């Protein structure tokens, strides 16, 4: 094998690993989001997937795979916009954006964050307790924001609010 062939072989191995991790990550994201939607009991009309990459159109609704991108922080990012309301089919409505950041750290194990200052949550695929603990963390942060941050919330001007560790 020539030195060049060795470089090509190393590239192929790295590329195959990346593609495998990307596919596994997409499957994990789909599973995590499906579980979260079920956990919340949110109607289909009250959520959509949005890209968090500024280069992509954030206003456009995407498929879950179309909203995922790999960021410089080595995490995959996925935006889930929830539309909250005071009464079903009533106004006012308030969209919030939850940004899920995740990466595979071991076989079937992912580190999931919702902000830069979130220490992260280890979720093992098929471990219901891991998902539940993360969803409870997320729920308590959103509820705490509305309970304690109403003054800040009311003074924000952007249409898409920042909620605790949830970023826009």
Structure tokens at 94: 């308030």
Answer for the pair 76, 101: CB distance below 8 angstroms, yes or no. Answer: yes
- The pLDDT of residue 19 is above 70: yes
What pLDDT score was predicted for residue 58? 57
Any idea where the domains of the chain sit in the sequence?
3-155
Helix (H, G, I), strand (E, B) or coil at 97: strand
Per DSSP, 74 falls in state S
Question: What are the pLDDT digits (tens) for 125-139?
Answer: 999 999 999 999 999
Q: What percent of the chain has pLDDT over 90?
A: 52
What pLDDT score was predicted for residue 127? 96
Give the dihedral of Cα atoms 165, 45, 23, 15; nearest 10 deg.
-70
115 or 28: which carries more pLDDT confidence?
A: 28
Question: What are the pLDDT digits (tens) for 25-42?
Answer: 999 999 999 999 999 999
- The pLDDT of residue 167 is above 60: no
Q: Is 29 exposed, middle or buried (0-12, 13-18, 19+ CB in 10 A)?
A: buried
What pLDDT score was predicted for residue 89? 77
Structure tokens at 91: 């106004």
Statement: the pTM of the whole predicted model exceeds 0.85: no
pLDDT band at 162 (very low <50, low <70, confident <90, very high): very low
What pLDDT score was predicted for residue 168? 40
Over residues 94-110, the mean pLDDT reads 93
What pLDDT score was predicted for residue 101? 95
| Helix H or strand E segment including 39 | helix 3-40
Those residues with Cβ within 8 angstroms of residue 103's Cβ, 6 or more apart along the chain or in another chain: 25, 74, 75, 76, 110, 111
If you average pLDDT over every residue of the chain, what do you get?
A: 85
146 or 124: which carries more pLDDT confidence?
A: 124
């Amino acid at each position: 094998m020539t030195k060049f062939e060795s470089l090509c072989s190393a590239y192929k191995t790295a590329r195959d690993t990346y593609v495998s991790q990307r596919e596994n990550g997409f499957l994990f994201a789909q599973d995590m989001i499906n579980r979260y939607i079920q956990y919340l009991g949110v109607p289909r009309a009250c959520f959509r997937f949005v890209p968090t990459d500024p280069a992509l159109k954030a206003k456009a609704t995407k498929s879950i795979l179309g909203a995922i991108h790999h960021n410089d922080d080595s995490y995959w990012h996925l935006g889930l916009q929830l539309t909250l309301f005071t009464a079903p089919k009533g106004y006012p409505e308030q969209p919030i954006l939850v940004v899920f950041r995740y990466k595979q750290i071991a076989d079937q194990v992912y580190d999931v964050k919702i902000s830069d200052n979130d220490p992260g949550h280890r979720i093992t695929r098929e471990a219901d307790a891991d998902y539940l603990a993360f969803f409870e963390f997320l729920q308590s942060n959103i509820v705490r924001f509305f309970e304690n941050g109403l003054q800040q919330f009311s003074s924000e001007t952007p249409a898409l609010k920042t909620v605790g560790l949830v970023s826009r």
